[in-house]
Structure 1
Amino acid sequence: MDRMGLTEKAKEFTDTALLKAGELSEVAREKAPGYLDRAADLAVKAADATASGVDRATGGRFHEKIEEVTAKVEASLDRPRPADGPTVVTVDPDEPKS
């Protein structure tokens, strides 16, 4: 009898943990785009600052190459993010398991 009680408690604990994980993944999914956009903006600023520093340090000898690389970096950071992100799994503890 005791074993059945422990098994049921373990199942209940697992179901609760899965529900909480599903809730937290929803929150993360909602907040992620803002963080990604902010990180991309900061990366573009860093790329510009680095390009300016290298251009200044080399006396402008590689200005065109630096501009090309900077443009490629900025273009890669400015790509649209996929709207359909990873699938979020939600678990209904009342739903029978197969």
Structure 2
Amino acid sequence: MDLLNRINYLTQAEGDFLFRIQAYLEFKSNVIICREDKFKKKKKNVVEDDFELPKSATVSDIAEMIGKSRRQTSEIMNSLKEKEILLNPEGAG
């Protein structure tokens, strides 16, 4: 992030998005998850650390979480995808 800031790679809106979305990133996977699922991990069986994954957030969910319109959020996310800062996992919608 330091380098990106020094070379002015991110717009103000992109930097703001990345800052605001940090709280919704799933630990270890970096998937943006729905707020209501953030702390609702359910064990699948008795094996420790074997949890059901929370639901990944849609663009509409993300817009609501960061207080932006869906259109604004989609535009910011698309620009971050073009810069390869934000990625969709293989096979994701």
Q: Which has the larger radius of gyration?
A: 1
Output the TM-score relative to the length of structure 1.
0.23
- Greater RCO, 1 or 2 (C-alpha within 8 Å, sep 6+): 1
Output the TM-score relative to the length of structure 2.
0.24
